[in-house]
A and B are shown apart, each in its own frame.
Chain A
Amino acid sequence: MDSPVNAIITLEGVGKFFGDFKALNDVTLSVGFGERVVVCGPSGSGKSTLIRCINRLERHDSGRIIVDGVEMTDDRRSIETIRREVGMVFQQFNLFPHLTVLQNLTLGPLRARKLSKSESESRAMQYLERVQIPEQAGKYPAQLSGGQQQRVAIARALCMEPRIMLFDEPTSALDPEMIAEVLEVMVQLAESGMTMVCVTHEMGFARRVADQMVFMDRGEIVEQAPPERFFNDPQSDRCKRFLQQILAH
């Protein structure tokens, strides 16, 4: 595997079990600085587990994970250091329902970054402008549409000014008409040079922004290639079958 010299995320032989179930089997992957990687594969293939290991929402059982030069260990400091660098967007948004949009965005900067109230609020407004919903700052998440909620979630992650963004099926819980507005924000983010690892089945988005496509099945990386080759000339049968199914309609 050709790993970029300036890799910001390196996974070496990562393994993960849930009980007897092997969720990740000897996964090796490297993501270069500013690179956009799209991970796809059938459900249960380990895509989510893979990216959740990168910021320690799951603990890997074997292998090494190195993010921006820091190896992820059980040591709390390594976990904290890595989480500072990594933002995450979830399938279910996971906004804090009892806080307003603005409070959702300022909580991290205030408490974890120790910014002042005015600093964190101006930063929050700046990112709300960027996801194009500054007028919703005073509302509660339940008052927003799904697409708006997911954009708030993206802004919340960006408020921590991470160097890497992880997306765990960010559009899978959305009504079709709201997918575009979220993808639009993600495309802009990609164009700004953010390092991104996205688990998604939005192949149009993948073609547009991905530098690398990763196909996973049964806890393994089966195929990895730039998008043109990945879509036009997939090597493995499993990947071909998957692409046929997902691109059929």
Chain B
Amino acid sequence: MIPKATGVSASCSRYSLIEMGAMNRTIRIGVLGGMGLALAGCSANWGWYVVSPMTPKGLSNLQFLLQGLKQTIALSLTAILISVVVGLLVSLPGLSERRGLRAFNRIYVEIVRAVPILVLILWVYYGLPQIADVSINVFWAGVIALALSDSAFQAEIFRAGIQSIPRGQHEAAKSISLGYVDTMRFVILPQAIRRILPALGNQFVYMLKMSSLVSVIGMQELTRRANELVVTEYRPLEIYTILVLEYLVLILMVSAGVRWLERRLQTDQRG
């Protein structure tokens, strides 16, 4: 009797979890995480005054940290948009029948993928101006490095997605006289993008996290601001905890966004 009853209640709770939907779940995870940290903050070792909105000093510290959200979002968003476009453009030659074009794709992916992001950031910011006679600010150095690095991964994701579309789709497009660009734009990519959406979401999350590395060249995004505040306030535990929460909130929002997009495109297909 007992195992049977357990089984029923387990299936009920799973059902209600699904019903609640992704957004709801995301909020719950965030609230639970926040409560956990708040509880931990009750112990004697924590000194939340440093970022307490109740005191003028704490409030200005908190505002200083939160202002980094703007830069982090701008940096990651610009970088991901560029890397998706570049990744797509690099993936297409990889699907060509011509060996030379495929070689271009392979070489690009293998080389760019092999450079650590941090190294690429340093190279673009300190190295590039010496050979290219350009002055480059930290924001664009960060964007270029992140986008370049990510584009190699995007290219592989797109290639896999496009290759997963059955050959019959290409043939049907040819049989109604569609050219290469129209075939890709109206037939292949809309289907491929649906399939690679989870992977694209992964890359977006990854990009948000890697944007923290741009702090090393002095870009005042979330991580840099936290570092600067720690130097003056000597409260790394509280300040870095806030930093963790900032990234957590951003990334949960991205996850929810990707889930929403997946559901939307799914219903599109079924009518």
A147 contacts the other chain (CB 8 A): no
Using a Cβ cutoff of 8 Å, how many contacts connect chains A and B?
Answer: 76
CB-CB under 8 A from B270, the residues of chain A are 140, 142-143
Q: Are A142 and B172 in contact (CB under 8 A)?
A: no
Q: Which of A87-95, A179-187, A215-223, A224-232 contacts B (4 or more CB under 8 A)?
A: A87-95
Q: Chain A residues with Cβ under 8 A from B11's Cβ? A: none
Residue B110, interface by CB 8 Å:
no
Q: What separation, in Å, do the CA atoms of A143 and B270 have in the docked complex? A: 7
CA distance A126 to B186 in the complex (A): 23
Answer whether A98 and B171 are a contact pair too, CB < 8 Å, given A80-B177, A108-B178, A112-B176: no
A160 located at the interface, meaning its Cβ lies under 8 Å from any Cβ of chain B in the complex? yes
Are A107 and B186 within 8 A (Cβ)? Answer: yes
Residue of A99, A139, A140, A157 touching B176 (CB-CB under 8 A)? A157
Does A163 sit within 8 A of B, measured CB to CB?
A: no
Q: Chain A binding site: helix, strand, loop or mixed by DSSP? A: loop
Write the nearest CB–CB distance from B8 to chain A, whole angstroms: 34
Write out the residue numbers on chain B whose beta carbons fall within 8 Å of the beta carbon of A98.
190-191, 194, 268-269
B174 within 8 A of A: yes
For this complex, into which size category does the number of interface residues on chain B fall? Answer: 20 to 34
* A57, CB-defined interface residue at 8 Å: yes
* Docked CA distance A96–B183 (Å): 11
Q: Are B175 and A57 in contact (CB under 8 A)?
A: yes
Using a CB-CB cutoff of 8 Å, which residues 77-107 of chain A contact chain B?
A: 80, 83-84, 86-88, 90, 92, 94-100, 107
| A55 interface residue per 8 A CB criterion | yes
Residue from A55, A90, A100, A111 in contact with B186 in the complex, judged by beta carbons closer than 8 Å: A111
B251 at interface (Cβ–Cβ under 8 A)? no
Which residue of B has the minimal Cβ distance to A88?
B175
* Distance between B266 CB and nearest chain A CB, rounded to angstroms: 11
Please determine whether B171 and A107 come into contact, CB atoms closer than 8 angstroms: no
CA distance A99 to B271 in the complex (A): 9
> Within the complex, which residue of A94, A95, A108, A139 is in contact with B177, where a contact is CB–CB below 8 Å?
A108
Contact B269 A107 (CB under 8 A): no
Question: What are the residues of chain B within 8 A of A157 when measuring CB–CB?
Answer: 175-176
The docked-state distance in angstroms from the alpha carbon of A113 to that of B182 is 12
Residues of A within 8 A of B3 (CB): none
Pairs A–B under 8 Å by Cβ, sample size 14: A57-B174, A57-B175, A80-B177, A86-B175, A88-B172, A90-B168, A92-B168, A94-B171, A97-B269, A98-B190, A138-B271, A140-B270, A142-B270, A156-B176
| Interface residues in chain A, defined as those with a beta carbon under 8 Å from any beta carbon in chain B | 55-57, 80, 83-84, 86-88, 90, 92, 94-100, 107-108, 111-113, 138-140, 142-143, 153, 156-157, 159-160
Chain B contact residues, CB within 8 Å of chain A:
166, 168-169, 171-172, 174-179, 182, 186-187, 190-191, 194, 268-271
What are the nearest 4 A-B pairs in CB distance?
A108-B176, A94-B172, A112-B177, A94-B168
11 more CB-based (< 8 A) A-B contacts, given A84-B177, A90-B171, A108-B176: A55-B174, A55-B175, A86-B175, A88-B175, A92-B166, A92-B168, A94-B172, A99-B186, A107-B176, A112-B182, A139-B271
